[in-house]
C-alpha cells in the first residue's frame, strides 16, 4: 500500500482487471470516488497488470490512488466486485464490502453464486438483485440496497434532437433486425459495438427516441436510465433489474424483447408526438431521482457504521 497515505485515514482497497469500459467497471469507479470523498477513508486500487488504459476511468487519478500489490492484510477494508473474489482466497480478517450488480449472482448454476457463501457486507444495485441473492438462502452477511446512480459525461455543446438511436451493444443481431424494421421512419442510428463514453452521451443527447436492448436479465441496466436523463423517449424491454425505475407506459414503453414488438412501440412514439413528449418528460423526472449524491450519502453512512455492521455480520 502507498506509505504516503496519512495515518489518520483508513485504507479501502479495490481491485480491478480492466479490459475495456463496461457499466460494471463504471459503477465500481463511482464507489471509488465516493470513498475518496469520505473524510475518514482513503481508497486505493490494485490494477491487474493485464488491464488496458484507453478508456479506463482510473487514468486521471493521482499516484496515491494505486497500490503496487493486492495486499488485503495491509488494508482496513476491502471493496470487491464480480470475480474479484478469486484474488482473495484466504480471509485476511478485514471487513469486505461486496458490490453485487446482477441478478445472476442468485443463479445457482452461475460461478458468481458460489461467492455468496463468503462473509461480506453486500451492496446490491437494485432491490431485484437483493431479492435474487436472498432467495438462495446462501448469503453470508448483511445485504444493503443502494440503487445505482447516473454518471453520464456532460455534453458542453448544444445539439439538435432528432431521429432514433438503438443501443444494441448487448443484442447486436436484434438491433440489426429492428433497424431494418424502422426503415423509412427517418434517421436511425444503430450502435452494435461499444462507443467511447462521450460519444455515447452525444448520441443520446441527439436522439428523440432511444431503444435500449438489455440482456433478458440485468441487475439494474443504467443505459435506459441514462437515455431518460438525456431527454429521450425511451423504449426498453423489462429485464428484471430495471424495475427499480421502469414504469411501463409512464416513463418508457416496455415491449417484449422481440423485433416486431419493439418496432411497433417505436412506430407508436413516432406517430403520437404527444405520447412521445409525455414519455420523455416522465423519464426525465424519474432520472432526476437517481443522482450520485444520494448514492454517495448512502455509501458514506455504511462506511461510518462499517465496524458495527461487520461485527454483527
Q: Which tens digit of pLDDT belongs to each residue from 215-237?
A: 999 999 999 999 999 999 999 99
CATH superfamily, domain 10-149+291-311, is Glycogen Phosphorylase B; (3.40.50.2000)
Q: Which tens digit of pLDDT belongs to each residue from 98-153?
A: 999 999 999 999 999 999 999 999 999 999 999 999 999 999 999 999 999 999 98
Q: What is the mean pLDDT of residues 157-167?
A: 87
Q: What is the mean pLDDT of residues 257-285?
A: 98
Evaluate if residue 159 carries a pLDDT over 80. no
- The enclosing H or E element of 264 equals helix 259-271
Cell digits of residue 117: 457463501
Q: What is the mean pLDDT of residues 264-281?
A: 98
The C-alpha torsion from 15 through 18 and 23 to 28, rounded to 10°, is 20
Q: What is the mean pLDDT of residues 206-213?
A: 97
Whether domain 164-287 has CATH 3.40.50.1860:
no
Question: Looking at residue 58, what is its pLDDT?
Answer: 95
Domain ranges of the chain: 10-149+291-311, 164-287
Question: Looking at residue 7, what is its pLDDT?
Answer: 72
Helix axis angle for 23-36 and 222-229, nearest 10°, is 70
Q: Which of these ranges, 1-5, 87-91, 262-266, has the smallest mean pLDDT?
A: 1-5
| Cα(20)–Cα(124) distance, integer angstroms | 23
Query: What's the burial of 69, exposed, middle or buried (CB within 10 Å: 0-12/13-18/19+)?
Result: exposed
Evaluate if residue 160 carries a pLDDT over 50. yes
Evaluate if residue 255 carries a pLDDT over 90. yes
The confidence band for 155, taking pLDDT boundaries of 50, 70 and 90, is confident
Task: For 90, list phi and psi in degrees, rounded to 5.
Answer: -110, 135
Percent of the chain past pLDDT 90, that is, above it, reads: 88
For the chain, the 3-state helix, strand and coil shares in percent, each to the nearest 5, are 40, 15, 40
Question: Looking at residue 231, what is its pLDDT?
Answer: 96
What's the chain's average pLDDT? 95
Question: Looking at residue 281, what is its pLDDT?
Answer: 98
pTM: 0.93
Q: What is the DSSP string of 234-259?
A: EE----BGGGGT--BTTTBB---SSH
Question: Partners of 234 in the beta sheet?
Answer: 210
Task: For 127, list phi and psi in degrees, rounded to 5.
Answer: -65, -40
Other beta carbons within 10 Å of 67: 20
Bigger pLDDT: 313 vs 41: 41
Q: What is the mean pLDDT of residues 157-184?
A: 93
Would the CATH topology of 10-149+291-311 be identical to that of 164-287? Answer: yes
Question: Looking at residue 1, what is its pLDDT?
Answer: 45
Question: Looking at residue 154, what is its pLDDT?
Answer: 85
Nearest to 176 by CA among 163, 166, 185: 166
| Cα(187)–Cα(165) distance, integer angstroms | 9
Q: Which tens digit of pLDDT belongs to each residue from 3-54?
A: 556 678 999 999 999 999 999 999 999 999 999 999 999 999 999 999 999 8
Question: Looking at residue 5, what is its pLDDT?
Answer: 64
Amino acid at each position: 500500500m502507498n506509505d504516503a497515505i496519512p495515518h489518520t485515514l483508513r485504507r479501502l482497497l479495490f481491485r480491478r482487471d480492466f479490459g475495456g469500459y463496461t457499466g460494471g467497471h463504471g459503477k465500481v469507479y463511482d464507489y471509488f470516488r465516493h470513498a475518496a470523498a469520505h473524510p475518514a477513508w482513503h481508497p486505493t486500487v490494485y490494477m491487474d497488470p493485464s488491464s488496458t488504459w484507453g478508456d479506463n476511468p482510473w487514468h486521471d487519478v493521482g499516484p496515491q490512488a494505486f497500490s503496487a500489490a493486492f495486499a488485503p492484510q495491509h488494508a482496513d477494508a476491502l471493496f470487491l466486485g464480480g470475480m474479484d473474489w478469486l484474488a482473495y482466497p484466504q480471509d485476511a480478517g478485514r471487513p469486505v464490502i461486496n458490490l453485487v450488480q446482477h441478478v445472476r449472482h442468485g443463479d445457482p448454476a452461475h460461478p458468481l453464486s458460489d461467492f455468496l457463501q463468503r462473509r461480506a457486507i453486500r451492496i446490491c444495485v437494485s432491490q431485484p438483485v437483493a431479492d435474487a441473492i436472498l432467495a438462495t438462502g446462501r448469503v453470508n452477511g448483511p445485504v444493503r440496497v443502494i440503487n445505482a446512480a447516473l454518471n453520464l459525461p456532460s455534453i458542453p455543446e448544444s445539439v439538435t434532437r432528432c431521429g432514433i438511436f438503438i443501443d444494441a451493444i448487448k443484442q447486436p443481431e436484434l438491433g440489426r433486425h429492428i433497424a431494418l424494421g424502422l426503415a423509412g421512419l427517418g434517421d436511425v442510428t444503430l450502435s452494435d459495438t461499444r462507443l467511447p463514453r462521450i460519444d455515447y452521451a452525444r448520441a443520446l443527447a441527439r436522439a428523440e427516441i432511444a431503444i435500449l436492448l438489455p440482456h433478458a436479465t440485468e441487475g439494474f441496466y443504467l443505459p435506459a436510465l441514462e437515455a431518460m436523463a438525456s431527454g429521450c423517449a425511451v423504449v426498453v424491454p423489462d429485464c428484471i433489474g430495471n424495475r427499480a425505475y421502469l414504469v411501463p407506459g409512464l416513463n418508457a414503453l416496455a415491449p417484449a424483447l422481440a423485433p416486431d414488438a419493439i418496432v411497433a412501440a417505436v412506430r407508436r412514439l413516432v406517430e403520437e408526438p404527444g405520447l412521445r413528449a409525455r414519455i420523455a418528460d416522465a423519464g426525465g423526472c424519474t432520472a432526476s431521482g437517481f443522482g450520485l449524491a444520494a448514492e454517495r450519502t448512502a455509501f458514506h453512512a455504511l462506511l461510518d457504521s462499517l465496524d458495527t455492521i461487520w461485527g454483527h455480520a
